[in-house]
Amino acid sequence: MLKLDVTIDTKSGFCFGVEYAIEIAEDILREDGELYCLGDIVHNDMEVSRLQEMGLKIIEHKDLKKLTGVKVLIRAHGEPPSTYEIAVNNNITLIDASCPVVLKLQNRIKKSHDKKEKIYIYGEHGHPEVKGLVGQTKKEAVIFQNINELDFSKLPSNITLYTQTTKSKDKFYEIIEKLKKEGIEVLIHDTLCRQVSNRDTQLQEFSTNFDKVLFVSGTKSSNGSVLYNVCKSHNKESYFVSSSNEIQKEWFNKNEKVGVCGATSTPMWLMKEVKEKLLEY
């Protein structure tokens, strides 16, 4: 027996936006036994599978146009205006579980667009939240996930800068400094979700308290990728796993202290499952 001392980070797990969306889905599934969801309700395959067993049906945008008279959940990431238009035309009841932080951001971007501002969004290409944000600008906003994607010689002298809610705070402010050094006037909108960005600091401290760290997250999670790198930079003995099946006993030595943490899309039950597996060693 390795007799590992395992601690779960109590501040890890679902953010309130994801938790709210899942609670709504569970309530409807218990009552109706069926609910459509536009895209994965959360970027965690294990949690999606659990809800699918309850009757959740994951659909894509192309499928939405073929449906009529059903209930469709909008997940925490939010949706562009075109989704709401399709729902009205097809007599679809939308269950809107968009995160309040995302909805507020969508509204701010729409107001900026109405003022004819040059909008740039620091975000992941193709991310569902970003698609919803760009939709507020009739797809005119410029998306970039790396400052190197921008050609400074062709940038307007004045830009309005937003960020996807789950991006790194440090990276966002590095980008602002680089833009300013190039002589570009930036109207800054720090639209990071503080519940998410504060986890950056929390995990810096958490990860240093253990011999090894297991970061539990789905591979599709943008937030998971960011937070895992935070752990890795503060504790080189950090490992990324999507489930308890991916854990390798060889990673650990006898009597080591092991920390288990996760993304804002990682369910607490999954982190507990990882802890139980570790205790079996």
Query: Closest Cα to residue 87, out of 45, 112, 59, 54?
Result: 59
Give the residue from 204, 208, 212, 196 showing the smallest Cα distance to 264.
196
Distance CA 95, CA 73 (A): 5
d(CA 94, CA 52): 19
Token representation of residue 143: 């998306």
Q: How far apart are the C-alpha atoms of 187 and 171, rounded to whole Å?
A: 17
**Is 129 designated active site?**
yes
Structure tokens at 139: 């797809």
What is each CA distance from 1 to 44, 170, 210, in whole angstroms? Answer: 31, 41, 19
Side by side, the strands of the sheet bearing 142-144 are 142-144, 119-122, 158-163, 185-188
The contacts of residue 179 (CB under 8 Å, 6+ apart) are: 147, 155, 159, 161, 186
d(CA 262, CA 205): 14
Phi, psi of 35 (to 5 degrees): -160, 135
Find the catalytic residue in 19, 53, 129, 273: 129
Q: Which two tokens stand for residue 81?
A: 């205006």
- Contact between residue 97 and residue 25 where contact means Cβ atoms under 8 Å apart: yes
Measured distance CA(133)–CA(121) in Å, rounded: 9
Residues marked active site are found at 129
